[in-house]
Amino acid sequence: VRMKYLEELSYEEMAELLGKEKGALKVATFRAIRELRAALRGKKGGENFYSAIERIEDPSAPLGMTVKPKIQS
């Protein structure tokens, strides 16, 4: 998650750096975000983070709107 969203690396760059398959990294990133959402849901301040992650995945989504996560290529 850090490499993809904070360091803004592509899945190809991540795969090369980590020696992993691109598809495996997509799945791992999707699952990590899902786990973060579940952990933060209902926590004080967690909704702000949850909303920010949704906007990263779909910048056109209004604040606070739930969007279905997309696996990017």
- For residue 51, is it within any domain? yes
Q: What does the DSSP assignment read for 43-66?
A: STTHHHHHHHHHHHH-TTSPTT--
Q: In this model, does residue 46 exceed pLDDT 90?
A: no
pLDDT of residue 66: 45
Is pLDDT larger for residue 66 or for residue 14? 14
Supply the range of the domain harboring residue 44: 2-57
As for how many domains the chain has, the answer is 1
In a domain, 26, yes or no: yes
Q: What is the pTM of this model?
A: 0.58
pLDDT, one tens digit per residue, over 33-42 is 888 888 877 7
At residue 57, does pLDDT exceed 50?
A: yes
